[in-house]
Amino acid sequence: MDSRPSDEMLLAAVAERDMGAFRTLYERHAGWLAIRLARRCNDRDLVADAIQDTFVAVWQRPQGFRGDGDIAAWLWGIAIRRLVSRLRTRGSVAAVFENPGAAPAAEDQVLLSVEYGDIGQALARLSPEMRAVIQAVVLDGLSAREAAQLLHVPVSSVKTRLYRAKAHLRAALAEGSS
Amino acid sequence: MTGWHLDDDALRRYVERTDSLAEGTSAEQHLLSCEQCRGRVTAAVDVIDFAAVWDRTRDAVEVPRPSVFERLLRVAGLPAHEARLVAVASAFRGVWLTGVVAVLAFAALAAAIGHTRGMWLFLAVAPIVPCLVVASSYDPRMDPALEPELVTPYPALRLILLRTIAVLALALPAMLLFGLVVPGEAAFAWLLPAVGFVTVVLAASTWVSPLRAAIAVSLAWLATVWLLAARSSSPESVLQARAQAAFLALAAASFSIFLLRRRWLRQLRPWR
């Protein structure tokens, strides 16, 4: 493990225009970034474009990473915004959120409640639209505007859905604990 | 990190997207900070063609960033690919511009210092510079980038006009600036001849190579100036309203010919 250069070293080499380090960085990160994007947008071409944009952006501005936190988190921040921006320019192409595991098997459900407690069940009870908004805004940290572009809905819908989803979760958790 | 890692089942569900939102979110949070699990996910993912995307990415970063001038053209509203076509014209490469500026500077200096003879020199050089620059901006021998451009179906007329306008937009202000050094009305007298020669070159390029046309026009103009200088000692003759009107007529006529014969522009390639 120690012989492998760290992401920080690779990024520093990329800043020095080292194509080999750039390739290593790509091989290390393109995969998980792509699957994470693909979970938010089922158009594979768009995902591929967003991955390309992400690494082009990294090449052009490696100094954008300020050295705080993980390079992986920084890369993800670029990737999700590149996806949103691709969606905006494509316009008409619908980005459909996959509905992850609409009905988990019973044993998974048990595992879930053990591992995540009531929150997992509360999330599972949300409608797909609300879950998508929760995922985009709360978990991916997008702004309401970016989330609206990603989900192809008006900003106002994002806000109301988020409000309702939070109310649902709050109620579900309060119910579970009492 | 914590010793906790995604187990194989969870990893498979994550990659196949059959997990729940809570499970997926948990996996994603873990992946951000765990290099080991990221590696395992990356090895299991084939959602896109990573080799192809890498090739595209590498190609994209190896293309030089657009020059300042090209970005300026884009800001002015030109689509990206056209901005590239206009900007690759050799006239915009630094060496060329430096050469043009140097020639003009010498001519303007000579005019400012050397009285009549210097004025003749300025009047001889200034009007032919724009047409030489325009010609070189789309002559295939001067500009290797033209070759792929002209085999692609692209309206040659539009390309050449765009480039001509861009060249003139660069060259004319520079020349006007030098003209300010020159005393009297001569500073602006060369403008109409210059425009006339550019249009002559455009029209002539429907028959011969633009560079050849520009050189011919330049030689003709130099000969005329030399004759005028030999006969009368005053450079004022070029400034007369009649002479200026003639240049205007020349420009109008040449431009009409250029527009009438524009389809011959498509045969740019056989000059090579």
The ipTM is 0.72
My answer on whether A77 and A125 are in the same domain is no
CA nearest B92: which of B19, B165, B14, B27? Answer: B165
Residues A111, A47 within the same domain: no
pTM of the model: 0.52
Are A15 and A83 in the same domain? Answer: yes
Helix (H) or strand (E) holding A140: none
- pLDDT, tens digit (0-9, with 9 covering 90-100), for A48-102: 999 999 999 999 888 888 877 889 989 998 998 888 888 777 654 444 444 444 4
CA distances from A59 to A23, B5, B62, B202 (A): 11, 31, 10, 42
| Residue-level pLDDT at B98 | 67
Could you tell me the residue range of the domain that residue A84 belongs to? 7-90
Q: B20–A51: do the CB atoms touch at under 8 Å?
A: no
Mean pLDDT of B204-221: 82
Q: Pick the residue with more confidence: A104 or B82?
A: B82
Q: How far apart are CA B191 and CA B251, in angstroms?
A: 11
Query: Is position A28 within any domain?
Result: yes
For B218, residues 6+ apart whose C-beta sits below 8 A from its C-beta are: B128, B131, B132, B197
Is there a single domain that holds both residue A115 and residue A69? no
CATH code for position A121: 1.10.10.10
- B62-77 average pLDDT score: 69
Rg of the Cα atoms in chain A = 19
Chain A interface disruption, residue of B25, B30, B59, most A CBs within 10 A: B25
Q: Based on the fold, state whether residues A134 and A77 are members of the same structural domain.
A: no
Cα separation, B113 vs A68, in Å, equals 63
Per DSSP, the three-state class of A119 is: helix
Burial of A140 (0-12, 13-18, 19+ CB in 10 A): buried
Report, as an integer, the average pLDDT of A106-130. 61
Taking an 8 Å cut-off on Cβ atoms, the answer to whether B20 and A100 are in contact is: yes
Candidates A3, A27, A36, A130, partner chain B, best to mutate (most B CBs within 10 A) = A36
Q: Tell me whether residue A96 is in a domain.
A: no
- Contact list, B61 vs chain A (CB under 8 Å): 22, 55-56, 59-60
Q: What is the DSSP letter of B69?
A: H
Q: Categorize the per-residue pLDDT at A137 as very low, low, confident or very high, splitting at 50, 70 and 90.
A: confident
Pair A127, A73 in one domain? no
For residue B45, the distance in angstroms to the closest alpha carbon of chain A comes to 6
Tell me, yes or no, whether A66 and A139 share the same domain: no
Contact A70 B17 (CB under 8 A): no
Q: How far is residue A172 from each of residues A59, A122, A126, A175, B25, measured CA to CA in Å?
A: 45, 6, 10, 5, 19
- Do the Cβ atoms of A51 and B48 come within 8 Å? yes
Cross-chain Cβ contact B53/A44 below 8 Å: no
Give the pLDDT band (50/70/90) at residue A177: low
Of B22, B53, B58, the CB nearest to A119: B22
By C-alpha distance, which of A93, A164, A102 is closest to A133? A164
A28 and B42 within 8 Å at the Cβ level: the answer is: yes
> For chain A, what is the domain count?
2
Q: Which residue has the higher pLDDT, B95 or A76?
A: A76
Instruction: Give CA–CA dist B190/B176, Å, rounded.
Output: 10
Report CB contact under 8 Å: A131, B21: yes
CA–CA distance, A26 with A36 (Å, rounded to integer): 15
Query: Which residues in A have their CB inside 8 Å of a CB on B?
Result: 7, 19, 22-23, 26-32, 34-36, 38-39, 44, 47-48, 51-52, 55-56, 59-60, 70, 72-73, 76, 98, 100-101, 104, 108, 112, 115-116, 119-120, 123-124, 131, 134-135, 139
Rounded distance, CA B256 to CA B191, Å?
A: 19
Query: Are B251 and B195 contacting, i.e. CB atoms less than 8 angstroms apart?
Result: yes
Cβ of B15 and A35 within 8 Å? Answer: yes
Q: Do A64 and A13 share a domain, yes or no?
A: yes
Q: Where are the domains of chain B?
A: 8-62, 68-271
The distance of B67 to chain A (nearest Cα, Å) reads 15
Residue A29 has pLDDT above 90, yes or no: yes
Q: Are residues A62 and A127 part of one domain?
A: no
B27-68 pLDDT tens trace: 888 888 888 899 899 888 888 888 999 999 888 887 666 666
- Assigned token pair, B51: 């080799």
**Based on the domain organization, do A21 and A84 belong to the same domain?**
yes
Contact B261, B206 (CB under 8 A): yes
Question: Which one of B9-23, B85-99, B172-186 scores highest in mean pLDDT?
Answer: B9-23
Tally Cβ neighbours within 10 Å of residue A3: 4
Do A85 and A113 lie in one domain? The reply is no
CATH code, A75: 1.10.1740.10
Kindly state whether residue A74 falls inside one of the protein's structural domains: yes
Domain boundary among A33, A64, A90: A90
The answer to whether residue A1 sits within a structural domain is: no
User: Quick check: A83 and A50 in contact, CB under 8 A?
Assistant: yes
Provide the H-helix boundaries in B45-190: 50-62, 68-75, 80-87, 94-113, 115-125, 128-138, 146-151, 156-179, 186-189
